[in-house]
Amino acid sequence: MSLYSKRGVSAQKEEVHAAVQHLDQGLFPHAFCKIYPDYLGGDDAFVNIMHADGAGTKSILAYLYWKETGDISVWKGIAQDAVVMNLDDLLCVGVYDNIVFNSTIDRNKHLIPGDVLQQIISGTQELFDRLKDFGVHIHYLGGETADVGDVVRTVAVNGTMTCRWPKNRIVSNEGIRSGDVIVGLASYGQATYESSYNSGIGSNGLTSARHDVLGKFYAEYFKESYDNNLSDDVVYIGKHKLSDPLQPQTTSSKPQTIGQLILSPTRTYAPVMKLLLEQHFDKIHGLIHCSGGGQTKCMKYLPGTFRIIKDNLFETPEIFSIIRQNSGSSEKEMYEVFNMGCRLEIYCEPADAAIMIEAANQFGIAAQVIGRVEASDKKELVIKTVSGEIYY
């Protein structure tokens, strides 16, 4: 059993998928989000989409960082995580504007004071204000903040996004075909619309990242930060504190500590995808957000029995190397838990790849052809690394 499973979480969410398998899959079953008829407007030319997600256990890292350093502004990054995990899923079905957002914050009031709530709420609005400069309009309609200390150890920061969208401008993934290439957009670096360097960690796999990288100090002094029923051999098994400086010391433009690296706010690709979806919609065959499930996420949304070959992924960013060095996890497990430096995939014809790459580069985001789609009699993913080939 993997460390991830021993900690009570699943990269593939098998039990969740089993529980919902008999529900209505919507108009486009291979699309990245469920899409339904226009129940709100009654127009056959439009569809309704509602999506819920959140920052996950990254909020626990923010809690520990805040307690250790006193830097309360870290919670604004958690606000961004909760928004982007919704927004970038919507991008993958073609939605990039005129979206409604409603937040849900569940807290233990004894540990999470009002000052923290203020940081989360104001951080959410600040992100929406920045995105408006790129023509991405998200309307913040408030939400629910509940004091549920009997349920939540610290705080859970989540949200729901809703929109009404033209049916003929949906990316359903039905267009993915043999011969397509996959253009990957990097999750790390510093985009032109980001204020600091991004490690690429995103908001998935943070249960592993937290316990694999951080040491027993946190198990001793912050018992509210983990499930106390877990075996000691999977709880905070790393060697670091969040305030530890990175070795070797990075340049001033990059994170200087383990905590800053692991708490990099999740990057949104909204400015890039707005440009591409407005100007090159017909060239996009499919879109995948490499969130939960990491580099294996694409397998769930393929419209046929294709073989996906990823043989030119980005060099592994520092944060994932640190996680693996601490945990001893296999390459196979790393690629199915983390994005490993590539968090968005665009499926298109080889001749159109340069358009996708150039659009990302305009915003300071590295992009390249990371793989291709081949005909096959079964769904299969092959990831080629310097160590060999990994099959899923």
Beta bridge partners of 158: 54, 104
Q: What is the pLDDT of residue 247?
A: 75
In a domain, 283, yes or no: yes
* Three-state secondary-structure class, residue 155: strand
Q: What is the pLDDT of residue 331?
A: 96
> How far are the Cα atoms of 35, 85, 93, 102, 150 from residue 48, in angstroms, in the given order?
6, 19, 12, 16, 35
Report mean pLDDT in 10-residue bins for the chain, 392 residues: 62 60 85 97 97 97 97 98 98 98 98 98 98 98 95 97 98 98 98 96 94 96 96 94 82 81 97 98 98 96 97 96 93 96 98 98 98 97 96 97
The amino acid at residue 9 is V
In a domain, 68, yes or no: yes
In a domain, 220, yes or no: no
Q: What is the pLDDT of residue 338?
A: 97
Residue tagged 């129940």 (tokens): 39
Q: What is the pLDDT of residue 3?
A: 63
In a domain, 173, yes or no: yes
Full domain range(s) for residue 136: 3-197+263-391
Could you give the CA distance from residue 374 to residue 392 in angstroms, rounded to a whole number? 15
10 Å CB burial of residue 18 (0-12, 13-18, 19+) is exposed
What is the DSSP code string of 292-309?
Answer: TTGGGGGGGG-SSSEEEE
Q: What is the pLDDT of residue 14?
A: 63
CATH of the domain at 350: 3.30.1330.10
* Three-state secondary-structure class, residue 285: coil
Q: What is the pLDDT of residue 200?
A: 97
Q: What is the pLDDT of residue 136?
A: 98
Tell whether the torsion through CA atoms of 136, 190, 201 and 237 is positive or negative.
negative
In a domain, 232, yes or no: no
Residue tagged 């309009």 (tokens): 137
Tell whether the torsion through CA atoms of 297, 86, 13 and 240 is positive or negative.
positive
Q: What is the pLDDT of residue 16?
A: 55
Could you give the CA distance from residue 371 to residue 378 in angstroms, rounded to a whole number? 18
* Three-state secondary-structure class, residue 186: strand
Say if residues 227 and 152 touch (Cβ distance below 8 Å).
Answer: no
Q: What is the pLDDT of residue 123?
A: 98
Cα dihedral value 17, 18, 20, 24, nearest 10: 100
The total domain count for the chain is 1
CA nearest neighbour of 80 among 272, 265, 206: 265
Say if residues 204 and 267 touch (Cβ distance below 8 Å).
Answer: no
In a domain, 48, yes or no: yes
Beta bridge partners of 383: 310, 390
End-to-end CA distance of the chain: 17
Q: What is the pLDDT of residue 10?
A: 57
Could you give the CA distance from residue 160 to residue 143 in angstroms, rounded to a whole number? 9
In a domain, 128, yes or no: yes
In a domain, 348, yes or no: yes
Cβ neighbour number for residue 358 with a 10 Å cutoff: 12
Q: What is the pLDDT of residue 357?
A: 98
